[in-house]
Amino acid sequence: MKTIFRFFLIIIISGYPTVSCVPDVTTGEIADGGMVVTAHPEASSIGVEVLQKGGNAVDAAVAVEFALAVCYPRAGNIGGGGFVVYRNSNGAVDAIDYREMAPANAHRDMFLDEDGEVIENLSINSHKASGVPGTVAGMAELHGRYGSMPFHTLVEPAIKLALHGFPVTENQASAFNSNRERFLEVNAVPPAFVKDTPWTEGDTLVQTELAHTLQLIAEKGRDGFYKGEVADYIIKEMERGGGIITHDDLENYRPVWRKPVTGKYRDYRVISMSPPSSGGIALLQLLGKVEPYPLSEWGHNTVRTTHLMAEAERRVYADRSEHLGDPDFYPVPVEQLIDRDYLLERMSSFSMDAATPSEDVSPGEIAYRESEETTHYSIVDSERNAVAGTVTLNRSFGNFVVVPGAGFIMNNEMDDFSIKPGYPNMFGLIGGEANAIEPRKRMLSSMTPTILEKDGDLFMVVGTPGGSTIITSVFQTVLNVLEHKMGMQEAVNAPRWHHQWLPDVISAEPDAFKPGVREELEIIGHRFSERLSIGRVDAILVLPDGRLEGGADPRGDDTARGYNVPDPL
């Protein structure tokens, strides 16, 4: 019961709308120059302006990340972390991990009482819930390797946005109002997200303290955040609230360049994030498990298609619970987990006639030789360099701690560790020793920034927020295009559902299935729960004529912005 409760807790706290609200429009933004798709129109506009000024996809990504920290505070951040998968126009790929880290004083039992039992919500609603932020270091490092425009010019649009303000959307006004008391309870000084009267759509949100922090970052790079004035603000707040992040933790934080995980699905090459994200491995496992079956013939969200995908998902999430963690601390068996023979063996117990109870599904045997609130952006420039970036605070608004004087929200990513083996995190995900808390370790993630190629050329850029549903949302969106021949916007709009092994239930948007499908699936043993909208997929598809189609998720304020290359005179 506790597992199910914590899984559905995210539905209550995420602030998502209660229905999918998918519009009739099935064709997204079309452009032949570049495309930026993000969770907020202000960030998308800033990103495409960078491209129009001659910046590349990485330049736009840096500008977008800092803009999202201003205009999408529930998940865009400089107090959290994330991952970026990059592919240049020549096909070379790279990935940077700027995931948050456990402070040096963290230990495996830090969220347990003297009897070894979990202290409810301590890993979510406290200053101790914060890992060492990685976003600023990640952007500085990414820019240093691949950026082309001066770093300070890429931060300046976010500074102006914070200083002069922007009109909040209806969704944002609702989120600020519903979380007002929580912000006041947690913070000694009311943050910018709290005002005396209720927020309404169109009100201007000004964040002068955040503007000052961004100015220091623009002038000093990573040192503007991890040292000096801002670092002092962070530590002062940690000391006030009983957090454990120190000056040394901040100064010693470093992002890590990772080799992306890659694999094949039919004629497509899939490039995704490697551990400590579980997303890339899980996506390749899912695709490998369903590839032998005629999904295109079976159809979208039909009984057979849904049954097969759900059975694949329950096995993948079981593997995730046992075998995935920070590769700098744990020998993650990457190649074995995505090996084709292993995937076929894992599906050997699959039957088209009946669901496999999750209690009968265990993590696969490996011979070892070696939130829900996140946000994603997809960017393609005129040279067809591509960036898939996913960043997070974990829960919506993290732990609600706004650093006084600095104006940004801290994460509560420590909950993404296995705070006790077998105990579920806020998304209901079970973890084991591979993801136990250790000093300076990075917690496991579900973020799945992904790039696809076809015949050696860029084909798709895709990702989403959604905690444990990230992996299955990307999985479904990819199949919508590859198997069900949908365009990008249509694939993003399509109703979604999710299965994660435990709890043993398919959670589905209200319009996920046509009449009769759910009933037939229940007959063969599947159980269902209706839930709020799943994910906020932002993606870009390269069309056959070379133009780009941006798919921005209508479940949020997500927006695609593109530009066309002027015809030569």
Q: Which helix (H) or strand (E) holds 265?
A: strand 261-265
Identify residue 515 by its one-letter amino acid code. P
Residue 72: name the closest of 161, 202, 190 by CA: 161
Q: Are 512 and 493 in contact (CB under 8 A)?
A: no
Distance between CA 537 and CA 464 in Å, rounded?
4
8 A C-beta contact, residue 539 and residue 488: yes
**Which candidate in 135, 169, 305, 374 is catalytic?**
374
**Torsion sign over Cα 516, 520, 525, 526:** negative
Buried b (16+ CB within 10 A) or exposed e, 327-339: bebbebbbebbbe
Q: What are phi and psi of 227, to 5 degrees?
A: -135, 170
3-state secondary structure of 261: strand
How far is the C-alpha of 567 from the C-alpha of 548, rounded, in Å?
Answer: 17
Q: How far is CA 70 from CA 77, 276, 281, 388, in A?
A: 8, 27, 32, 20
Residues 302 and 307: their CA atoms lie apart, in Å, by 8
526 three-state secondary structure:
coil
Q: In the sheet that 386-394 helps form, which strands lie side by side, from edge to edge?
A: 256-258, 93-98, 81-87, 386-394, 373-380, 34-38, 559-563
The answer to whether 374 is a known catalytic residue is yes
Task: Enter the tokens of residue 213.
Answer: 């922090």
SS (H, E, C) 460-511: EEEECCCHHHHHHHHHHHHHHHHCCCCCHHHHHHCCCEECCCCCCCEEECCC
Give residues with Cβ within 8 angstroms of 230, minimum separation 6: 213, 216, 217, 224, 403, 406
Q: Would strands 506-508 and 497-498 be described as parallel, antiparallel, or unpaired? A: antiparallel
Strand order, beta sheet including 29-31: 29-31, 548-552, 538-542, 457-463, 450-454, 268-272, 261-265
Please provide residue 551's backbone torsions phi and psi, each rounded to the nearest 5 degrees.
-110, 110
First to last CA, the chain: 68
CA-closest candidate to residue 74, choices 179, 156, 1: 179
Taking the mean position of all CA atoms in its chain, how far away is CA 334?
21
Catalytic sites, residue numbers = 374
